[in-house]
Amino acid sequence: MANLALLAQEAVNVGVPIGKGLVYGLAAIGPGIGIGFLAGKAVEAMARQPEAAGMVRTTMFIGIAFAEALALFGFVLFFIVK
Amino acid sequence: MIIGSLASIDTPPAPPHGFPAPDTSIFDYTKSCLVGGGPFCLTKISLLMILSAVIIVALFVIGARKRQVVPRGSQNLVEAFVDMVRGSIVLEVMGPAGLPFLPFLTALFIFIWLNNSWGIIPFAQIPTTSRMAVPAFLSALVWVVFNVVGIVKQGGWHYLKGILFPSGVPWYIYPLVTPIELVSTFLVRPLTLAVRLAANMIAGHLILTIFAVGTWYLASHFALASGFGKAVGVFAIPAFALEVAMTAFEVLVAFLQAYIFTILTAVYISGAMSSEH
Q: Provide the residue ranges of all domains of chain A, joining segments of one domain with +.
A: 25-82
What residue of B is the nearest CA neighbor of A70?
B192
Residue B277, pLDDT score: 47
Is the pLDDT at B10 greater than 70? The verdict is: no
Tally of structural domains, chain B: 1
CB B116 within 8 A of CB B254: yes
Q: Between residues 6 and 65 of chain A, which touch chain B (CB distance below 8 Å)?
A: 54-55, 58, 61-62, 64-65
A57 vs B226, residue with greater confidence: A57
Contact (CB<8Å) A65/B92: no
Minimum mean pLDDT among A7-16, A25-34, B3-12, B157-166: which range?
A: B3-12
Using alpha carbons, select from B121, B123, B90 the residue that is nearest to residue B107.
Answer: B90
CA angle B244, B194, B191 (to 5 degrees): 140
- Can you tell me the distance from the alpha carbon of B267 to that of B277, in angstroms, rounded to the nearest whole number? 16
With 0-12 / 13-18 / 19 or more C-beta atoms within 10 angstroms meaning exposed / middle / buried, residue A8 is: exposed
**Closest to A72 (Cβ–Cβ): which among B92, B192, B259?**
B192
Set of chain A residues whose Cβ sits within 8 Å of the Cβ of B199:
72, 75-76
* Candidate from B24, B92, B196 with C-beta closest to A58: B92
CB pairs under 8 A between A and B: 34
Supply the pLDDT for residue B68.
81
The verdict on residue B131 lying in a domain is yes
Please, what is the average pLDDT of chain B? 87
The average pLDDT across B144-148 equals: 96
Q: Do B93 and A54 touch (CB under 8 A)?
A: no
pLDDT of residue B135: 96
Model confidence at A20, in pLDDT bands (50, 70, 90)?
Answer: confident
- pLDDT-derived band at B16 (thresholds 50, 70, 90) equals low
Winning range, highest mean pLDDT, from A77-81, B75-79, B146-150 = B146-150
> Is residue B11 over pLDDT 70?
no
**Chain B residues near residue A55 by CB distance under 8 angstroms:** 92
For B197, name the nearest residue in chain A, comparing CA atoms only.
A72
Task: Write down the CATH number for the domain with range A25-82.
Answer: 1.20.20.10
Alpha carbon of A61: minimum distance to chain B alpha carbons (Å): 7
Q: What is the largest CA-CA distance in chain B?
A: 76
- Over residues B251-261, the mean pLDDT reads 93
> Between chains, do B88 and A58 touch, taking CB under 8 Å as contact?
yes
Which chain A residues are closer than 8 Å to B192 by Cβ?
A: 65, 68-69, 72
Contact residues, chain A, for B88 at CB < 8 Å: 54, 58
Asked if residue B37 belongs to a domain, the reply is: no
pLDDT for res B106? 95
**pLDDT tens for each residue of B173-204:** 999 999 999 998 999 899 999 999 998 999 89
Per-residue confidence (pLDDT) for residue B5, from 0 to 100: 46
Whether B253 shows a pLDDT value over 60: the answer reads yes
**Structure ipTM:** 0.73
Res B13 pLDDT > 60? no
